[in-house]
């Protein structure tokens, strides 16, 4: 029996792309694999799939009538392959192009890796809808460097990408794919609780961007889907840090005054969607519960806590809320003082100036990072929490 199982979920897609994707999987130099195609609620595509795979004994086609989504299709396919005893698993998309050495290279690298390595992944090219290259060689070099990092960097971004293979034994340790928009990313975060990763710095496939049927295009073109995607990212990051007992980097406090629902909603979104996600967000409310619920109704985020201080001064409310913060460092925002740049917090973190023994505050002003032993400003300054409390207490 082949030791490699490949799943392809199929839903509505450009026919030319489907034909090309299936052809490039079947034409792999490495031949010993099973190709399981899962038609996810598009039974009218069955004749096309049968035509594209006719006569290939490695292909199994499964079709069900109702669309259940990519996560369901992958769980369905992987469960079949794991039950049949395959050692290595991967999945492929209907709009990508796979080089002839794609499977062989990944399988060979996983064969050579130690048993602690559960995922092997490579770099990849990006192409436009028409097949033209999307990026320069310089960009690809940057992408290779960005991907070539330890598994802990997954909490900074999805370094693995669409070219990968993993051991079935590690797949069995997680409860399958669960999210609609970040299936792989969340899966890998959970899998790397149990295994290490290995990077292969060569391109093994073309990843098609801006394809009209692709999930990434739908997310980019629909603000509501974009919000749901980020909610999934934040939940996955939060749960990963909880599992691994990773301490908070900082506590963010956001002051909400009466009558600023729209401004507060935008500002909180800018904070929640910072690239650095390792923080709690404490909403310090000087307004009603109804306004707060309206502000945060789209943010389903486990990092949010809310405290109400209606009819109290800002300094009193901050002093009380700081006493409930969980991190050693804190930063205070409001609707007027909130970062528009999603790298604002990460820039502070990467400055390596957040040392409570030598400084009280770290300031990011237009990307220029400075530190001080004193606190002179309330907003948008990363401060040692106990010293910020003392700073505010002096003004009460």
pLDDT tens by residue, 39-82: 999 999 999 999 999 989 999 999 999 999 999 999 999 999 99
pLDDT tens by residue, 84-142: 999 999 999 999 999 999 999 999 999 999 999 999 999 999 999 899 999 999 999 99
pLDDT for the residue numbered 225: 85
pLDDT for the residue numbered 211: 67
Q: How confident is residue 317, by pLDDT bands cut at 50, 70 and 90?
A: very high
pLDDT for the residue numbered 213: 57
Q: Does 351 score more than 70 pLDDT?
A: yes
Mean pLDDT calculated for residue range 301-312: 96
> 96-100, 140-144, 210-214, 335-339: which range is least confident on average?
210-214
The tokens describing 340, both together, are 């528009």
pLDDT for the residue numbered 1: 62
pLDDT for the residue numbered 366: 81
Please state, rounded to an integer, the average pLDDT across all residues of the chain: 94
Mean pLDDT calculated for residue range 286-314: 96
Q: Does 300 score more than 90 pLDDT?
A: yes
pLDDT for the residue numbered 68: 95
pLDDT for the residue numbered 380: 93
d(CA 301, CA 332): 19
pLDDT tens by residue, 140-181: 999 999 999 999 999 999 999 999 999 999 999 998 999 999
Q: Does 255 score more than 80 pLDDT?
A: yes
d(CA 319, CA 21): 59
pLDDT for the residue numbered 212: 63
Q: Does 224 score more than 90 pLDDT?
A: no
d(CA 221, CA 69): 19
Q: Does 323 score more than 90 pLDDT?
A: yes
Mean pLDDT calculated for residue range 195-214: 89
> Among residues 145, 141, 151, which one has the least CA distance to residue 120?
151
Mean pLDDT calculated for residue range 184-209: 97
Mean pLDDT calculated for residue range 295-307: 96
Helix (H/G/I), strand (E/B), else coil: 384: strand
d(CA 393, CA 88): 59
Considering just the CA atoms, what is the radius of gyration of the chain in Å?
A: 24
pLDDT for the residue numbered 220: 56
Q: Does 347 score more than 70 pLDDT?
A: yes
> Among residues 241, 238, 249, 247, which one has the least CA distance to residue 350?
249
């Amino acid at each position: 029996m082949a030791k490699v199982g490949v799943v392809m979920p199929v839903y509505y897609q450009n026919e030319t792309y489907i034909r090309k994707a299936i052809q490039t999987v079947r034409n792999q130099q490495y031949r010993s694999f099973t190709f399981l195609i899962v038609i996810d609620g598009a039974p009218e595509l069955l004749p096309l799939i049968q035509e594209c795979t006719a006569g290939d004994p490695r292909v199994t086609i499964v079709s069900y009538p109702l669309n259940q989504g990519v996560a369901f299709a992958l769980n369905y396919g992987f469960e079949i392959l794991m039950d049949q005893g395959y050692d290595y698993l991967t999945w492929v998309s209907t709009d990508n192009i796979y080089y002839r050495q794609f499977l062989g290279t990944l399988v060979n690298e996983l064969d050579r890796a130690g048993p602690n390595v559960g995922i092997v992944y490579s770099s990849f090219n990006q192409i436009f809808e028409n097949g033209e290259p999307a990026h320069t060689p310089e960009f690809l070099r940057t992408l290779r460097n960005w991907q070539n990092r330890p598994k802990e960097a997954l909490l900074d971004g999805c370094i693995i990408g669409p070219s990968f293979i993993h051991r079935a034994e590690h797949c069995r340790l997680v409860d399958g794919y669960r999210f609609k928009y970040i299936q792989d990313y969340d899966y890998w975060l959970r899998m790397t609780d149990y295994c290490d990763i290995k990077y292969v710095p060569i391109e093994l496939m073309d990843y098609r961007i801006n394809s009209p049927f692709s999930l990434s295009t739908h997310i980019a073109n629909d603000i509501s889907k974009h919000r749901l995607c980020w909610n999934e990212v934040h939940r996955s990051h939060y749960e990963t840090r909880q599992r691994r007992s990773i301490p908070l980097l900082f506590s963010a406090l956001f002051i909400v005054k009466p009558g600023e629902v729209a401004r507060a909603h935008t500002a909180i979104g800018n904070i929640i969607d910072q690239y650095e996600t390792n923080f709690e967000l404490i909403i310090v409310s000087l307004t009603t519960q109804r306004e707060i619920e309206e502000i945060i109704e789209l943010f389903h985020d486990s990092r949010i806590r809310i405290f109400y201080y209606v009819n109290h001064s800002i300094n009193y409310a901050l002093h009380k809320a700081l006493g409930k913060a969980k991190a050693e460092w804190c930063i205070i925002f409001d609707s007027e003082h909130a970062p528009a740049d999603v790298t604002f917090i990460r820039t502070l973190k990467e400055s390596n100036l957040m040392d409570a023994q030598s400084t009280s505050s770290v300031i990011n002003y237009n990307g220029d990072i400075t530190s001080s032993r004193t606190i002179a400003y309330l907003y948008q300054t990363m401060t040692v929490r106990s010293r910020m409390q003392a700073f505010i207490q002096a003004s009460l």
